[in-house]
């Protein structure tokens, strides 16, 4: 005899098994939803759970899987396999779709999933073309299923703590938000090298700085009303877009922000500073416990430090975070929370409108840097 929760268990499918493998981990962890099918075009990725983990980009996702599923054929764990997105969409058993295909396909894949009335977890960016998204706004407003955008930093414990401080008013009047991201170039082992061409990925600012525009809005609760960007390129010549972007702007009403984003690193650092009239927050995130940037002196993944302007370092309130602050765990958690929101009918973590807002800022930034053609 099934209990109530079991009776209303919905079924999910993941399309695209690169980062989509972290979505798989989310559905496998969810108590609300069951993983029903996976879909990709690459046979190796369809061969088994973690078929992407031999080398390269997706190795970092391996810890999300327990040994009893890792390496098993999908069928062995009761998951259907398909090479056809259409087949998955036409399957009435599928209630929820994670769209984890390359950026330039998001809009088309979102529209077809909407035609089939699925709940949708869409990876960022919502599209690489702003006009596409504006044209869909009304349909989205009337859509009777849930759509969530893959802005998983919103569930990162470090980001949650920053937002709690801000929401409790502990910083006083917000004056400024600053984010610094130093990282290695995008991995070159993507399907058909889509990420290396602006035509397919939107370039650095649309592909990834969209995360940081989202955090600049989400943590502060303020809207950005002006943006200016300068870019530099010529480091990674096989990428046809900016390697580095420096972006500044203002918030509606009061406040300024700046973002520094570079693909020229040899390690990973994400730092956020938030300045208020009564308090200052400093946060750092690493990709793994070892970092060359502090000579291996720390083993945490994330840190939040809160002080007062002009205060003493010894008076700061400091908190550190473990592996749960790393991105793969955040993506898994975002999916788990999405499943819960679908079942309970509660608001999703990041809406389609949030996706449009960060894309709009990205496009405005690139226009100010004069690197986009007329059609963008
Ligand atoms: N939220 C995050 O932090 C985060 C992190 C990494 C990637 N992403 C996003 O996830 C998406 C995928 O990126 P990735 O790094 O996994 O790329 P990838 O190239 O490794 O994987 C994409 C997969 O999609 C498959 N695919 C393409 N067209 C398809 C189709 N029509 N039907 C079925 N499968 C198809 C490809 O075979 C490939 O395996 C991108 O939009 C990227 O921006 C988000």
Q: What is the 3-state secondary structure (H, E, C) of 268-306?
A: CEEEEEEEECCCEEEEEECCCCCCHHHCCCCCCCEEEEE
User: Nearest Cα to 338, choosing from 163, 179, 86, 123?
Assistant: 123
Cβ–ligand 1 distance for 214 under 6 Å, the answer: no
Q: Closest residue (by CA) to atom 1 of ligand 1?
A: 150
Pocket test for ligand 1, best of 13, 14, 16, 40 (most atoms within 8 A of CB): 16
CA distances from 230 to 241, 258, 316, 366, 371 (A): 12, 12, 34, 8, 9
Please, where are the H alpha helices in 31-187?
Answer: 43-47, 85-90, 106-115, 130-142, 157-167
All residue ranges of the chain with pLDDT < 50 are: 1-2, 5, 374-376
pLDDT score for 4: 53
Give the integer Cα–Cα distance in Å for 218 and 235: 32
Residues of the chain with CATH 3.40.50.720: 4-152+329-350
Q: How do 10-15 and 96-99 pair as beta strands?
A: parallel
> DSSP 3-state assignment of 52?
coil
Residue 357 structure tokens: 């807002």
Phi, psi of 94 (to 5 degrees): -85, 120
102 cis-preceded (ω within 30 degrees of 0): no
* Tens digit of each residue's pLDDT (9 = 90 or more) over 308-318: 999 999 999 99
Q: Is residue 121 in contact with ligand 1, taking CB distance under 6 Å?
A: no
According to the model, what pLDDT value does residue 372 have? 74
Cβ-contact 35, 20 below 8 angstroms: no
Write the pLDDT tens digit of every residue in 105-122. Answer: 999 999 999 999 999 999
CATH for 154-326+362-368?
3.30.360.10
Q: What is the pTM of this model?
A: 0.96
Q: What superfamily would CATH give domain 4-152+329-350?
A: NAD(P)-binding Rossmann-like Domain (3.40.50.720)
pLDDT given for residue 375 in this prediction = 44
Chain region(s) in the chain for CATH 3.30.360.10: 154-326+362-368
């Amino acid at each position: 005899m099934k209990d109530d929760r079991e009776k209303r268990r919905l079924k999910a499918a993941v399309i695209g098994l690169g980062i989509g493998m972290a979505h798989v981990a989310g559905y496998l962890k969810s108590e609300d939803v069951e993983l029903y099918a996976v879909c990709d075009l690459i046979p190796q990725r369809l061969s088994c759970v973690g078929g992407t983990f031999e080398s390269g980009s997706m190795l970092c996702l391996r810890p999300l899987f327990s040994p009893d599923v890792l390496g098993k054929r999908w069928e062995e764990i009761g998951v259907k396999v398909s090479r056809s997105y259409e087949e998955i969409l036409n399957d009435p058993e599928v209630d929820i779709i994670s769209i984890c295909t390359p950026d330039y396909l998001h809009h088309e894949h979102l529209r077809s999933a909407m035609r089939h009335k699925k709940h949708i977890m869409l990876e960022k960016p919502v599209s690489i073309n702003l006009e596409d998204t504006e044209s869909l706004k009304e349909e989205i407003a009337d859509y009777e299923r849930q759509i969530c955008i893959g802005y998983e930093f919103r569930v990162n414990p470090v980001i949650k703590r920053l937002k709690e401080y801000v929401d409790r008013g502990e910083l006083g009047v917000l004056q400024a938000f600053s984010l610094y991201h130093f990282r290695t170039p995008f991995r070159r082992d993507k399907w058909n090298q889509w990420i290396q061409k602006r035509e397919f990925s939107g370039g650095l600012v649309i592909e990834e700085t969209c995360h940081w525009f989202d955090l600049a809005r989400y943590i502060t609760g303020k809207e950005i009303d002006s943006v200016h960007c300068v870019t530099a390129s010529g480091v990674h010549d096989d990428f046809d877009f900016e390697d580095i972007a420096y972006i500044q702007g203002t918030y509606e009403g009061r406040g300024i922000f700046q973002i520094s984003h570079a693909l020229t690193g040899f390690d990973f650092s994400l730092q956020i500073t938030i300045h208020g009239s009564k308090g200052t927050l400093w946060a750092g995130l690493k990709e793994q416990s070892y970092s060359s940037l502090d000579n291996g002196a720390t083993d945490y993944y994330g840190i939040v430090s809160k002080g007062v302007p002009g205060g003493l370092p010894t008076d700061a309130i400091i908190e550190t975070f473990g592996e749960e602050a790393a991105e793969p765990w955040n993506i898994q958690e975002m999916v788990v929370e999405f499943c819960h929101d679908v079942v309970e009918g509660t608001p999703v973590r990041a809406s389609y409108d949030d996706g449009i807002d960060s894309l709009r800022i990205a496009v405005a930034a690139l226009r100010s840097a004069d690197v986009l053609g007329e059609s963008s």
